[in-house]
Amino acid sequence: MNPPIRMLVIDIDGTLLPSAGTRVSERTCRALREAEAAELELVIATGRRQAYAMPLLSPIGLRPETVLITSNGTVTRTLGGEPIDRFFLPVETARALCPALRPFGTTVFTFDREGPGELVLESLQALHERIAIWVEANRPWIREVRPLERAFDAGEAPVQGMVCGGVQEMRLAAEALAESPLQSQIEVHRTEYPSRDLTIVDILPPGCSKGVALQRLAERRGVRRESILAVGDNW
């Protein structure tokens, strides 16, 4: 007999948020509130950073202590802002990624800070041509830095790097990283949307993923793997 579910973990894009939608439906909001009322621990796990996730989550009416795993597992905190976990790409690793990824497109680095400069890239225009909706939604937080290596002059480490492009192009990017000297210093995850010929390659600190962040949280809570239900739409 299977143990009862104690923890419900849900992705945002393509899961809570419909692929063609811009808000979580009222039916889904109601179901999430009912899950918390039934004493299930609800966890939101997303590739988005917290500032990009909160406009979607705030209207749902979840508890402040609800856990939010962001930036594909590098940052974990509650909706109320209580820190739980955070991991960084070392500055020298991030700087070395700039020339390694430049042949494949525009690289974006995410810093766990508030305001302009949370997202740093070299060319807003080049990225806009590929993911215009994302660029427009995040424009207030984006800062252009040329060359991108200068984004690390102050010594601040990012929590995440990202490059996006066509499916085949990004498979080549992932292969290039796997064969580079940086391979042991990073974790690489691909999210593919073949119907749009779009792939997002996320570069994280070693050992990081939404799954690992969830495992760490579950161990803190004393929740066994068999008591966790996780829902998502991609790898």
Average pLDDT value for the chain: 94
> How do the pLDDT tens digits run along the chain, 235 residues long?
678 999 999 999 999 998 777 899 999 999 999 999 999 999 999 999 999 999 999 999 999 999 999 999 999 999 999 999 999 999 999 999 999 999 998 999 999 999 999 999 998 887 867 788 888 889 999 999 999 999 999 999 999 999 999 999 999 999 999 999 999 999 999 988 898 899 999 999 999 999 999 999 999 999 999 999 999 987 7
Rg (CA), the chain: 18
pLDDT tens digits, residue range 104-136?
989 999 999 999 999 999 988 878 677 888 888
User: How is residue 85 written in tokens?
Assistant: 């976990």
- Pick from 69, 133, 135, 142: which is nearest to 109 by CA? 142
- Pick from 54, 78, 44, 43: which is nearest to 64 by CA? 78
Give the separation between CA 17 and CA 136, rounded to whole angstroms: 18
Give the separation between CA 88 and CA 155, rounded to whole angstroms: 12
The H or E element that residue 171 is part of is helix 167-178
Q: What residues contact residue 232 under an 8 Å CB cut-off, 6+ apart?
A: 10, 11, 14, 15, 45
Beta bridge partners of 108: 121, 162
How many CB atoms lie under 10 A from the CB of residue 165?
21
User: How is residue 208 written in tokens?
Assistant: 């990081």
